[in-house]
Amino acid sequence: MDNKRIKRALISVYHKDGIGEIARKLNESGVEILSTGGTYDFLQKLSIPVIPVEDITSYPSILGGRVKTLHPKIFGGILGRRDVDSDLKSFSEYGIPEIDLVIVDLYPFEGTVASGASHEDIIEKIDIGGISLIRAAAKNYKDVVIIPCKEQYAKLSAILDERGAETSLEERLFFAAEAFNVSSHYDTAIFSYFNREQGMEVFKQSILNSRSLRYGENPHQSARFYGNDSKLPEQLHGKEISYNNLLDIEAAIELISDFTETTVAILKHNNACGCASRSNLADAWSAALACDPVSAYGGIIITNRPIDVATAKEMNTLFCEVIIAPEYEEGSLEILKEKKNRIILINKDDNRSHRKFRSLLGGVLVQDRDMAVETKESLSAVTNNAPAESQIDDLLFANKLVKHSKSNAIVLAKDKTLLASGIGQTSRVDALRQAIEKAHSFGFSTDGGVMASDAFFPFADCVEIADKAGIKSVIHPGGSIRDNDSIVYCNEHGLSMVTTGTRHFKH
């Protein structure tokens, strides 16, 4: 028979919230309760009949509480198979009580690490008995119910309300799966802590929280987000965030994080179609929008300054999917909320992981996040003409944008404004031609502008094309065996060029 009656339960939990109600229901159903340490004291104070584990094992809690339940009479009572004669004989021969329900809530290891506690305190929060009880009960799910964490109290409580102390095989299997989920996550957290120093080259990630997304990149693709919602930007308004929204939001946050001046960026499909830095937000917004008002439609707006009422009124005239800012001044939020589906977010402190993952070919690629941000001190002038101070500002501005553009990428900029970019091209020449054509199509003059490239120039063709379009200064990583070809061209035609020594491919 699949249904099993719970006659005896073992309860050993760290967090006591909710356990009193469960214990009362078990007691009312005639279930004998065994318990340990603090849980025993807690249940006794509630006047719930409870037997100390020591009465079963004839051993006290020892080693400062490190050993309480690790005893053959406890684990035999959990692991013993009720349909195996030799196991039943061992029950009788050694006086082992059958234990039909185990309720555990583990020491808060992750919380202790996150609190900044000492190494000694962290080690003491590695649960040994609890994790062993979980694994033992889950292994013997045919006969034993395992409640591995406080999050499962409600489901057990509902079962007790519905039919008393009786569970089905399906329910026990569900709890067993939950148990191994809890135990594997717990062990991964402990390993990750120890591996900070050891640096073993293995890939282990465990994320308990997830939520379903409407769909993936396209409606026929299902999708989920795995992660802690509390680390996402805080949503103040709008529809449910989609898979594509999340990709754009991350791209926008990555880009704006590199800017310290008042800056507005508008992104579409993870790439900036407008960006400008100014002394005030309203000017930055109008300049960013003018870069490409066509692509801005339905895009993502992000800024690194609080949005004021005047700027909010201007932004509200554009249909956009998402607006992200660190704050919204009084009155501005009400204006932006006029579009009921518009997603409005608060960008929190930078809590981006320093590692990035990508699944492919049945495996996982891991790399450090590209956190490099070039400064004036990073630049090496390689031409006879050195760039002027205003050109250096533009070069650094353009270099930040090209870093966050899909390769092959070229960015043209002037007066700390994106003129146009060529992105995702199979050749750098095509990317440059795309950028020039786009800039001109929106009425921008590229004369006196600067050019940034995410990688070196293998030939002098790009600087020649840029020169003919009026570009006066160039920034790129350098490193080609033919760098000198481009340098010679620049010297002969009066362009300035700087190298950074840092490539910014993005695929």
Q: Which amino acid is at 500?
A: T
- Whole-angstrom Cα distance, residue 483 to residue 495? 15
- Whole-angstrom Cα distance, residue 60 to residue 55? 9
Token pair recorded at residue 8: 């005896």
Q: Which residues pair with 372 in a beta bridge?
A: none
Check if the beta carbon of residue 353 is closer than 8 Å to that of residue 470: no
Place of tokens 């000694």: 120
Check if the beta carbon of residue 48 is closer than 8 Å to that of residue 20: yes
Q: For the chain, state the CA radius of gyration.
A: 31
Active-site annotation, residues: 139, 269
Q: Which amino acid is at 189?
A: A
Check if the beta carbon of residue 20 is closer than 8 Å to that of residue 112: no
Strand ranges in 160-288 using DSSP code E only, listed in sequence order: 166-167, 210-212, 224-226, 234-237, 263-268, 271-277
- Whole-angstrom Cα distance, residue 267 to residue 406? 12
| 439 half-sphere exposure, CB direction, 13 A CA radius | 28
Place of tokens 């005030």: 280
b/e map 212-224, b = 16+ CB within 10 Å: ebeeeeeeeeeee
Residues in the chain: 507
- Helical (H) or strand (E) element with 414: strand 410-414
- Tell me whether strands 8-13 and 101-105 are parallel, antiparallel or unpaired: parallel
Question: What does the DSSP assignment read for 53-79?
Answer: HHHHHS---BTTTTBSS-SHHHHHHHH
Q: Is the peptide bond before 347 cis (omega within 30 degrees of 0)?
A: no
How far, rounded to the nearest angstrom, does the alpha carbon of residue 318 sit from its chain's CA centroid? 30
How far, rounded to the nearest angstrom, does the alpha carbon of residue 18 sit from its chain's CA centroid? 30
| 232 half-sphere exposure, CB direction, 13 A CA radius | 20
Which phi and psi (to 5°) does residue 386 adopt?
A: -90, 145
